Structure 1
Amino acid sequence: MQNQYRLGIDAGGTFTDFILADRKGEVRIFKALSTPNDPTAAIRNGLKLIEEETGLTPQTIVANSDLCINGTTVGLNALITHNGAKTGLIATAGHEDSIEIRLGHKEDGYRYDPEYPPATMLVPRYLRRGIAERVLSTGAVHTPLNEEDVRAACRHFLREEVESVAISFVWSVLHPEHEQRAAEIVREMMPHVRLTVGSQLYPQVREYTRTSTAIVNAYLAPILQRYVEAVDGYFQSLGARHPVRYFQSNGGLALGRIVSDQSVYAINSGPASAPQAALYLGEPWGMQDIITVDMGGTSFDITLTRDGRANVSKNIDFLRYRIGIPMIQVETLGAGGGSIGWIDSMGLMQMGPQSAGSEPGPACYDQGGTKPTTTDANLILGYLNPDGLVGGRLPLNVEKARTAIKTHLADPLGISVERAAYGMFTIVNNNMVNAIRRVSVERGYDPRDFVLNCAGGATGAHITALAREMGIRKVMISKLASGLCAFGQILSDVKYNYMAPAPIRLEGAEAAARLNTLFTDLETRGTADLKADSFTDDQIAIRRSLDMRYVGQVHECTVDVDPFEVTEAALERLKAAFHARHEELYTYSEPQSAVEVVNVESAITGGVDKPARMTVAQGKGAHAALKGTREMIFTASGLAHETPVYDGALLGAGDRITGPAVIQEVTTTIVIEPGWVAELDATGVYLVTLGDAPALADSAARAEALTEDA
């Protein structure tokens, strides 16, 4: 029985998802309400729920799992709420305020807005201490390190009870000795604080980015350390034979000690696993261009894969803080099942970004919430089962939902509750469509060339409406959609990123030799680290990237390449790759101009065995799964139509459903709008395609006929 299971846990803002897979190909999904004040409580509650439904005790599951994987929002929540550790910064004298100067401008989109407030500083001014030292851009020492300044900073931090310290000096990536010595002094005088050294965490050229990344890491490190210790301790108490793996923002797994030291990698760990799951689901049909949308209770996350690779970003502003490390590109919007509807000063209806979350939750949850939310609107529209969600374990109160919408939206606007609910549905969809365009159209991709993949518990009610608005004609919805990120985690590999500064002009044999040596050193170190983690040569894969620019440009772009020996002749391959990427991003290239590298990076991956693919038995026809009908609203008129409702648990491979219809899975509800046809594949994926739309007026007669046939 040993190593029979694999467990994935993804903690979201409202629900914590659990995926339990075994070697026979059975994959089951479970949900428990998240517990923001004690994230480990949700894990305990979820494992208790699994025991109730399967008879498998937490000890049995954990002790017989080859991997237990945790994606957490702990770091993200701490950054959102500014509830991280009390942090001090040791910087080069005169550069204490670089994080406040922020390269002289605000984030993109607000650069010319005089009323846009400054970002909250994670390290207040009184906890930033300048140190006499200076390294030049050549790597030469201009001013030696003043060790007494470092000691004075430590004494100040001790008085202020600082929990975590970040060190970031100018040009430290070319001469790290000053930072290393300062770190020794901090460890000597403050042995109990968490310490982040900029040139070790993010050894890349760009001082502001490196300093900001180091500060964010230091700010989150104590929070993640406590979380990892609690989770590791809990799983060890259950008899875990293997260490818990944590999901990172770079799309790979890591050990707990790595996440504790490099906490910045855990910020957006949940949605970062979605691309892996999407590619796995689409593999039987050769789908590699996929947009995945994940609507949970609090947020709406979008990821994109092109030609089988997820978009990876570096040097971005995330929640108003510059982060340099590579992260799966996730566009996040405050639009979830808990998004609250409200009326602005112009008398117009708006949705979000405020959310009812899990506490108190939507009004229909009947847990004290009184504000109208997306979930309340979907209930009034007839999309959600009034008997309750999550297999009936979460009952819904229709009257509470109606009262919330009537009081806060319908009456003030002078419209019916039904029309207000459809307005809420439409507005939140428009918000999500605009976000999808930001990761597709605004980056040069035509969304009509992509498949839309459904993830998250709330997305199924909106997925065909979103596809219709985007002009997308094919949709994938897995039976595991509501826990797709947790599913992506159990499919993912261990992944670490190794970086080095490389200010090199791509000319001559010496430049080629320097680049080749840099990559070889990084990859030798990465391979050794993975072998120490029990990976073999045939399980280890390498992917390289270079930050490149034309000589004279201010900013660089990242170019991905496969590993090869960098010889003088091979420099032309690198230049060609850069020209192609530059043209893809900016519509032009300058092949006649000189090219230089700024930074290099090697992503080292340790391959993990994938669980067996889910299989669904052959169906007996959709009529066998028909539960009855329910009045539903599909137009702004607010008029309801009798619409068939199907039990997803009774549908089998090959069963086809023509919209309008609703499929009720245990953990999600799928709305098939008029004009769409859904067919369940043997892999547990509904392929939903756009056909010819039937007249809504005929839907009542069709529903009645279907009920009689059943």
Structure 2
Amino acid sequence: MPVGYRVAVDVGGTFTDFVVTGPGGELAAFKVPSTPKAPEQAVLGGLRMLTGAGPAPVPPTEVTFLGHGTTVATNAVIERTGGPAGLLITEGFGDLLEIGRQMRPSLYDLLADKPEPLVEREFVWEVPERVAADGSVVRPLDREGVRRGLARLRSLGVRSVAICFLNAHANPEHERAAAKIAREEYPELHLSVSHELLAEFREFERLSSVVLNAYLSTAMGEYLDRLAAGVAREGIRTGIHLAHSAGGLLTLQRCLHRPAATLLSGPAAALVAAASAAAGVLEGPGPADPPATDLVTLDMGGTSADVGLVRDGRPAVTTARKVAGWPCLFPMLDIETVGAGGGSVAWVDAGGLLKVGPRSAGAEPGPAAYGRGGEEPTVTDADVVLGRLGPEGLAAGRVSLDPERARRAVWDRVARRLGLSLEEAAWGVLKVAGATMESAVRLMTIERGLDPRDFSLVAFGGAGPLHAVALARALGMPRVIVPRDPGTFSAQGLLAARVRTDAVKTLLLTLEPDRWGRGAAARRVLECAAALAEEVAGVLEEEGIPPRSAEVRTVLDLRYEGQNHEIRVALGRLGSEDDIARAVRLFHRRHHELNGYRLERAPVEVVNVRVEGTGRLPGSGLPRARRTPAPASAGAAAPRSRPVYFGPGYGWLTTPVVGREALEPGRWHSGPLVVS
């Protein structure tokens, strides 16, 4: 298949980013303001600019790839705009969503409330049935009970139903039968069936994850329908690929069945881009320089800052995240999000302490400097006050900056209330925001037994590079890597990402010391891995990836017998008993890194077998060449130098300004310096 134009669109809280590569590798990138109330409008507006305006419009029929990162799923959960969803659950377990793990959200806060269940109690129907932990049937499924429950839920207006029966990971026959009844008698219902999505144990976490999927199906379905219809009206005939929370891609059709797989769609693609870009960075000349495959990433946008981890060239993945307080077992990149974006609002609390975030000015009205009616000071306003952002504006001049509005907001809301000068107040805003980001990096590294000094910091997003050097200096990180186009880096990651699918199966098998790779348990592990690999390859083929192009990786969740928490050990394709023995050795080593000890004579339990399948699409990869489109409206030309405030130790310094396009490989610039 010939590779035409490949288009990537990443929707953020403030801007929607577009990146397009042509058949010859040429690159164009631009931003448009996001439209939070109807995110597809910004996407479609940008596509119209791309295909119908400017000096070099892209022919719609020649677009062969359209990638999309979206925050619709995340926002639907946080803002409670999904659903309504129904739930079929084993009789006697109807309150499991509310009971959960019987843990308070905050141990010492007696007033802290648990999040409200995503499925209201009247939409929960208990079905008489029971399967034991070993998979044996204790009580047969009451099929008429299933029918009564479905009829009741439909009468309440439910369009999406989760089916989650006790121990269905061990024996899914009852869930299969209930799903068959639902699909035959109510084909219009969207079903989220636990064993089809996540065949693993821990009932509450599996239930929570399946309910998240059901809750999102209506909101995501309506959004994707509007988006697909709009894309078709623009004349683009290629299918849409959504960013997977684990850093891959999935087709629109598969996303409709697994909308929870996009809960981290927004920031996920950026980590893929960081790993790809850093692989091309030359190793430093000294022994103190960390390898370019070990990275901490900082994605600082308008609303928040996301901190991620890349080890040995692979972004870290977890299945233990919470979304709006609800556990989610779907694989996601291991990212820590904090409220420290460019639009994060600075404010003074009742005790006279300066705070930054988590509330954001967003795209509407935005920071005071945007001149769109915003009056509250933000991190961006502090950067404008201190000269770090200049009169040339943002987004290639599409967003102008008004320094006087920024000064007035910082003075009225921060400086005057704290008795500080304007510079001191703005500097304080940046220090508080920096401390928030520093705590996120410490959480991802030091609190996991890792030393941040062994990692390079990759900074991107609209505001990331502005704050990266101070963050790296505070943590002793020896190197900062800034991509050529940091403001559209997440969108670039969509161009480099691979189609991805995952499968999991709980085994709970014990491997005996000195027989790690031998015996009946080891054979069961190998058989399970082979079956999951076949399943994953089949899904990839449906997604357009031929078997010869698929890459399969096995991950084992291991723990010492008697423990309650597993450690993920990643391998290639699991094909022999020696591979299992190698996984156990890696587990001992990783356990020692995390906990300070190992028990090499203790039995090791294989909890879950996971298989990750990926496949590369034609033409995928980070763009290398560059073509810059003319901006919609030219901002003020960047001056050759301007005053910039560098803190109490340096004060205001006349600082050279270098345009990013003027940077060339091998050419060095000495600080202080502003790269614009």
- Answer whether contact 2:501 2:539 (CA < 8 A) is retained: no
Distance, in Å, in 1 between the alignment partners of 2:650 and 2:501 is 52
Residue matched to 1:564 = 574
Deviation (angstroms), 1:52: 7.1
Deviation digits for residues 516-562 of structure 1 (CA, Å, limit 9, x no counterpart): 22111111122223234443344211110112222222222222122
Partner SS for 1:657: coil
Deviation digits for residues 479-499 of structure 1 (CA, Å, limit 9, x no counterpart): 211111111110111110011
Distance, in Å, in 2 between the alignment partners of 1:27 and 1:161 is 47
Alignment of 1:290-329 (within 5 A): 290-329=295-334
Q: Tell me, yes or no, if structure 1 residue 597 matches structure 2 residue 606.
A: yes
Deviation (angstroms), 1:570: 5.0
Distance, in Å, in 1 between the alignment partners of 2:248 and 2:341 is 26
Distance, in Å, in 2 between the alignment partners of 1:532 and 1:414 is 64
Residue matched to 1:269 = 265
Instruction: Read off the aligned partner of 2:444 and give its amino acid letter.
Output: V
Residue matched to 2:523 = 513
Residue matched to 1:342 = 347
2:227 is aligned, of 205, 224, 231, to 231
Partner SS for 2:640: strand
Distance, in Å, in 2 between the alignment partners of 1:480 and 1:595 is 46
Deviation (angstroms), 1:53: 6.7
Deviation (angstroms), 1:435: 0.8
Partner SS for 2:535: helix
- Answer whether contact 2:6 2:63 (CA < 8 A) is retained: yes
Alignment of 1:37-116 (within 5 A): 37-51=37-51, 54-57=54-57, 60=59, 62-107=60-105, 110-116=106-112
Distance, in Å, in 1 between the alignment partners of 2:566 and 2:451 is 25
- Answer whether contact 1:2 1:64 (CA < 8 A) is retained: no
Deviation (angstroms), 1:54: 4.2
Partner SS for 1:218: helix
Task: Please report the RMSD computed on the Cα atoms of aligned residues, expressed in angstroms.
Answer: 2.1
- Answer whether contact 1:419 1:637 (CA < 8 A) is retained: no
1:542 is aligned, of 545, 552, 560, to 552
Q: Tell me, yes or no, if structure 1 residue 531 matches structure 2 residue 549.
A: no
User: Judging changes above 3 Å, is the alpha-carbon distance between structure 1 residues 612 and 172 closer, same or farther for their aligned structure 2 residues?
Assistant: closer
Distance, in Å, in 2 between the alignment partners of 1:389 and 1:570 is 52
Partner SS for 1:462: helix
Residue matched to 2:457 = 452
Choose 538-547 or 549-558, whichever is displaced more: 549-558
Residue matched to 1:118 = 114
Q: Tell me, yes or no, if structure 1 residue 150 matches structure 2 residue 162.
A: no
Instruction: Read off the aligned partner of 2:607 and give its amino acid letter.
Output: V
- Answer whether contact 2:277 2:622 (CA < 8 A) is retained: no
Distance, in Å, in 2 between the alignment partners of 1:174 and 1:472 is 46
Q: Tell me, yes or no, if structure 1 residue 361 matches structure 2 residue 366.
A: yes
- Answer whether contact 1:213 1:324 (CA < 8 A) is retained: yes
Residue matched to 1:389 = 394
Deviation (angstroms), 1:421: 0.8
- Answer whether contact 2:115 2:324 (CA < 8 A) is retained: no
Deviation (angstroms), 1:188: 4.2
Using the aligned pairs only, state the percent identity: 35
Residue matched to 1:242 = 238
Residue matched to 1:682 = none
Instruction: Read off the aligned partner of 1:394 and give its amino acid letter.
Output: V
Residue matched to 1:180 = 176
User: Judging changes above 3 Å, is the alpha-carbon distance between structure 1 residues 300 and 601 closer, same or farther for their aligned structure 2 residues?
Assistant: same
Deviation (angstroms), 1:76: 0.9
Choose 29-38 or 221-230, whichever is displaced more: 221-230
Q: Tell me, yes or no, if structure 1 residue 653 matches structure 2 residue 665.
A: yes
Distance, in Å, in 1 between the alignment partners of 2:172 and 2:380 is 53
User: Judging changes above 3 Å, is the alpha-carbon distance between structure 1 residues 533 and 637 closer, same or farther for their aligned structure 2 residues?
Assistant: closer
Partner SS for 2:509: strand
- Answer whether contact 1:333 1:432 (CA < 8 A) is retained: yes
Choose 167-176 or 555-564, whichever is displaced more: 555-564
Instruction: Read off the aligned partner of 1:509 and give its amino acid letter.
Output: G
2:474 is aligned, of 469, 476, 483, to 469
Deviation (angstroms), 1:441: 1.1
Deviation (angstroms), 1:160: 2.0
Partner SS for 1:472: coil
Partner SS for 2:100: helix
- Answer whether contact 2:81 2:219 (CA < 8 A) is retained: no
Residue matched to 1:673 = none
Partner SS for 2:582: helix
- Answer whether contact 1:209 1:315 (CA < 8 A) is retained: no
Choose 373-382 or 635-644, whichever is displaced more: 635-644
Residue matched to 1:607 = 616
Distance, in Å, in 1 between the alignment partners of 2:580 and 2:273 is 35
Deviation (angstroms), 1:639: 4.0
Residue matched to 1:405 = 410
Alignment of 1:613-632 (within 5 A): 613-615=623-625, 627-632=639-644
Distance, in Å, in 2 between the alignment partners of 1:589 and 1:650 is 53
Deviation digits for residues 662-708 of structure 1 (CA, Å, limit 9, x no counterpart): 111xxxxxxxxxxxxxxxxxxxxxxxxxxxxxxxxxxxxxxxxxxxx
Distance, in Å, in 1 between the alignment partners of 2:413 and 2:554 is 53
Instruction: Read off the aligned partner of 2:299 and give its amino acid letter.
Output: D
User: Judging changes above 3 Å, is the alpha-carbon distance between structure 1 residues 546 and 106 closer, same or farther for their aligned structure 2 residues?
Assistant: farther
Deviation digits for residues 453-488 of structure 1 (CA, Å, limit 9, x no counterpart): 111011122111111111112111112111111111
2:445 is aligned, of 440, 449, 456, to 440
Distance, in Å, in 1 between the alignment partners of 2:27 and 2:460 is 16
Q: Tell me, yes or no, if structure 1 residue 641 matches structure 2 residue 646.
A: no
Size of the aligned set, in residue pairs, is: 652
> When the two structures are superposed, what TM-score results if normalisation uses the length of structure 1?
0.88
Deviation (angstroms), 1:229: 2.2
Residue matched to 2:212 = 216
Partner SS for 2:296: strand
- Answer whether contact 1:340 1:373 (CA < 8 A) is retained: yes
Deviation digits for residues 280-325 of structure 1 (CA, Å, limit 9, x no counterpart): 2222225101111011000100111111121111132232110012
- Answer whether contact 1:616 1:652 (CA < 8 A) is retained: no
Partner SS for 1:562: coil
Distance, in Å, in 1 between the alignment partners of 2:101 and 2:372 is 46
> When the two structures are superposed, what TM-score results if normalisation uses the length of structure 2?
0.92
Instruction: Read off the aligned partner of 1:434 and give its amino acid letter.
Output: S
Distance, in Å, in 2 between the alignment partners of 1:594 and 1:663 is 56
Partner SS for 1:29: strand
Choose 219-228 or 629-638, whichever is displaced more: 629-638
1:251 is aligned, of 239, 247, 251, to 247
User: Judging changes above 3 Å, is the alpha-carbon distance between structure 1 residues 136 and 611 closer, same or farther for their aligned structure 2 residues?
Assistant: closer
Deviation (angstroms), 1:130: 1.6
Partner SS for 1:500: strand
User: Judging changes above 3 Å, is the alpha-carbon distance between structure 1 residues 174 and 380 closer, same or farther for their aligned structure 2 residues?
Assistant: same
